[in-house]
């Protein structure tokens, strides 16, 4: 089963589907996508992603505060997050992490929020979805500090093999998006060739970062098919084998997800 392991269904550009999310999901299903993980990024959209998981049997969700969505006072605390994580279709925490590319001035606040999410992961046992950009050393340091017994994932990975290997050594998975198809992504393609088969996930991060040949247009969950096709070719394996393995990996990482076996 092909799984879009990271998408923002509440932010999709639905203009080509006359505003219908049902139609967008049906289009993805016709491309072989059997499950969607809809990602929380703020306190405001937590209710929305939970409602989508209640509406669709093939949609689960996560809840968390994106490092670029932090409020001036830090936003909701641990009690809020733990309460949100009690929902039966919230199968993961995040996305959380560090982004010094856009907001280096908020580094300390981001680190505090990241630690809070990692503590929630320790308490609940749910995996954490990590966003990291221009913050390699601090991201790895906080993951080592947390020393979580369960795995998580570095989503939409864009770093080099050195960071990927360090994350893999800590038990984390690597998720690749349409960026791997971009012409200037040679270093990322080197990572994609080396990630162990049992630690690889695929995603769209839609509506962002549409793969070739759709780059520059709004991304859609159905384009995870293009990502998987490209990765299979790059890694020298069949499309069917890559889809099967990434599906197994998803179920292992997110055991609470309602994915048909």
Report the pLDDT averaged over residues 210-215.
95
Q: Decide: 235 and 192 in contact? Cβ < 8 Å.
A: yes
- Which tokens in the block code for residue 35? 């499950």
| Angle between helices 136-146 and 161-169 in degrees, nearest 10 | 10
Strands (E), the chain: 2-7, 33-38, 59-63, 90-99, 128-133, 153-154, 173-176, 200-202
Closest by Cα among 139, 65, 140 to 95:
65
The secondary structure element, H or E, covering residue 30 is: helix 21-30
3-state SS class at 257:
coil
Long-range contacts of residues 184-188, Cβ cutoff 8 Å, at least 24 apart? 187/160, 187/161, 188/157, 188/158
pLDDT at 71 over 90: no
pLDDT tier, 119 (very low <50, low <70, confident <90, very high otherwise): very high
Residue length of the chain: 261
Report the pLDDT averaged over residues 108-134.
97
Confidence at residue 261, expressed as pLDDT on a 0 to 100 scale: 63
pLDDT at 72 over 90: no
Tell me: the pLDDT tens digits for 171-200? 999 999 999 999 999 999 999 999 999 999
Report the pLDDT averaged over residues 127-155.
96
In the block, which residue shows the tokens 């393995």? 245
Tell me: the pLDDT tens digits for 20-41? 999 999 999 999 999 999 999 9
Q: Which of 65-69, 73-77, 199-203 has the highest mean pLDDT?
A: 199-203
pLDDT at 151 over 90: no
pLDDT tier, 73 (very low <50, low <70, confident <90, very high otherwise): low
Chain centroid to Cα 189, Å, comes to 18
pLDDT tier, 109 (very low <50, low <70, confident <90, very high otherwise): very high
Report the pLDDT averaged over residues 225-249.
98
pLDDT at 75 over 80: no
Confidence at residue 60, expressed as pLDDT on a 0 to 100 scale: 98
The Cβ of residue 123 has, within 10 Å, a number of other Cβ atoms equal to 13
Look over the chain and give the mean of its residue pLDDT values, rounded to a whole number: 96
- Better-scored residue on pLDDT, 17 or 74: 17
Alpha carbon separation from 30 to 14, 35, 42, 241 (Å, rounded): 17, 12, 31, 19
pLDDT tier, 260 (very low <50, low <70, confident <90, very high otherwise): confident
Render 178-191 in DSSP notation, one character per residue.
Answer: GGGGSTT-HHHHHH
**SS in 3 state form for 225-256?**
HHHHHHHHHHHCCCHHHHHHHHHHHHHHHCCC
């Amino acid at each position: 089963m092909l799984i879009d392991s990271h998408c923002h269904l509440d932010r999709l550009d639905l203009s080509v589907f006359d505003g219908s999310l049902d139609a967008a999901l049906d289009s993805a299903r016709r491309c072989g996508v059997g499950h969607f993980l809809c990602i929380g990024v703020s306190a405001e959209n937590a209710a929305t992603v939970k409602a989508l998981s209640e509406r669709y049997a093939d949609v689960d969700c996560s809840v968390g505060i994106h490092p670029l969505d932090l409020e001036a006072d830090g936003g909701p605390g641990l009690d809020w997050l733990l309460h949100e994580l009690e929902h039966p279709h919230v199968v993961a925490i995040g996305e959380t992490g560090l982004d010094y590319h856009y907001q280096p001035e908020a580094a300390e606040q981001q680190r505090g929020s990241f630690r809070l999410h990692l503590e929630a992961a320790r308490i609940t046992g749910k995996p954490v979805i990590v966003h990291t950009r221009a913050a390699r050393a601090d991201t790895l340091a906080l993951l080592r500090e947390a020393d979580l017994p369960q795995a998580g994932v570095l989503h939409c990975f864009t770093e080099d093999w050195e960071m990927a290997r360090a994350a893999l050594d800590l038990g984390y998975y690597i998720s690749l998006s349409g960026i791997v198809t971009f012409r200037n992504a040679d270093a990322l393609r080197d990572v994609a060739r080396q990630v162990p088969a049992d630690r690889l996930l695929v995603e769209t991060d839609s509506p962002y970062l549409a793969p070739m040949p759709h780059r520059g247009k709004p991304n859609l969950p159905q384009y995870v098919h293009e990502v998987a096709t490209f990765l299979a070719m790059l890694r020298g394996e069949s499309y069917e084998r890559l889809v099967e393995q990434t599906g197994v990996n998803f179920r292992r990482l997110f055991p609470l997800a309602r994915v048909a076996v």
